């Protein structure tokens, strides 16, 4: 029971912490006071985050089932990436989201939510004996880096699909998101296996570099590009403060 409580505590902190931090970092410049008003609906942001957590729990079960099915390693990677990114398309391409610039922001929160659940499931289902390892602090640090890598790449794929939906270019951006997610899984393969003391940390480090590059592109290019030109011009003139906030998307 003590091991289960410890595993759950570590899984929750390691999974939720980086996800919430990254969501705040990605969206804060589109909210008051860094913008004249919130350019998204807070309720939809947190709803997408919650839906992402629920979907991530389902996806983690599918991932485990596929990974133990005896199939070649490439097939599970394709299946997982295809399943995850297809769900984002279904959720973000619904009526009420299609063609709206703020859908890109909801894609980010959907992605980090699913990433948080995937990390929590991975950590909680880890071998319980690992938690009695004298190197537990180093293990938790590695898991936190893994969580950050997952949050960055899934925030990015969610943002890409949300942008594609907002611009009526769903398939093209779905394909980009799928390739990003598949590549990230392939890079992390040796970390998942965890057998080699050199390849495992190198795999994690490479995934962080890859996820960071993709996230930087989405953060600098995709998120601002989703805004209509008049709102972008308004943001450029905005001094970063106002008498009081005005909530709600355009």
Provide block-wise average pLDDT over 10 residues at a time, the chain (250 residues).
Answer: 73 91 95 92 96 88 59 75 93 93 97 92 68 68 91 97 95 97 91 78 94 97 94 84 47
How much is the pLDDT for 8?
A: 81
How much is the pLDDT for 213?
A: 97
Encoding tokens for residue 138?
Answer: 């180093």
Q: Which residues contact 34 (CB under 8 A, 6 or more apart)?
A: 28, 238, 240
What is the maximum span of the chain, computed from C-alpha positions, in angstroms?
A: 61
Q: Which residues contact 42 (CB under 8 A, 6 or more apart)?
A: 247
Give the Cα separation of 107 and 166 in Å (integer): 10
Question: 3-class SS at 240?
Answer: coil
How much is the pLDDT for 193?
A: 75
* Residues paired with residue 37 on neighbouring β-strands, in sequence order: 246
How much is the pLDDT for 151?
A: 95
pTM for this prediction: 0.88
How much is the pLDDT for 237?
A: 85
């Amino acid at each position: 029971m003590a091991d289960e409580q410890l595993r759950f505590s570590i899984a929750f902190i390691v999974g939720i912490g980086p996800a919430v931090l990254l969501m705040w970092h990605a969206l804060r410049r589109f909210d008051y006071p860094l913008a004249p008003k919130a350019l998204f609906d807070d309720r939809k942001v947190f709803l997408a985050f919650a839906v992402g957590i629920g979907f991530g729990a389902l996806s983690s079960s599918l991932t485990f089932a596929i990974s133990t099915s005896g199939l070649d390693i490439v097939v599970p990677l394709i299946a997982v990436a295809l399943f995850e990114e297809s769900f984002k398309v279904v959720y973000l391409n619904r009526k009420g989201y299609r063609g709206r610039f703020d859908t890109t922001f909801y894609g980010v929160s959907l992605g980090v939510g699913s990433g948080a659940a995937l990390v929590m499931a991975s950590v909680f289902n880890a071998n319980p004996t690992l938690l009695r390892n004298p190197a537990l602090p180093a293990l938790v640090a590695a898991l936190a880096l893994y969580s950050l890598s997952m949050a960055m790449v899934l925030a990015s794929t969610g943002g890409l699909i949300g942008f594609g939906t907002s611009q009526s270019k769903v398939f093209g951006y779905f394909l980009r998101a799928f390739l990003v997610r598949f590549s990230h899984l392939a890079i992390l393969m040796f970390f998942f296996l965890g057998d080699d003391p050199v390849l495992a940390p190198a795999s994690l480090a490479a995934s962080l570099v890859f996820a960071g590059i993709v996230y930087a592109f989405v953060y600098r290019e995709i998120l601002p590009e989703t805004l209509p030109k008049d709102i972008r011009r308004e943001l450029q003139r905005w001094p970063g403060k106002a008498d009081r906030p005005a909530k709600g998307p355009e």
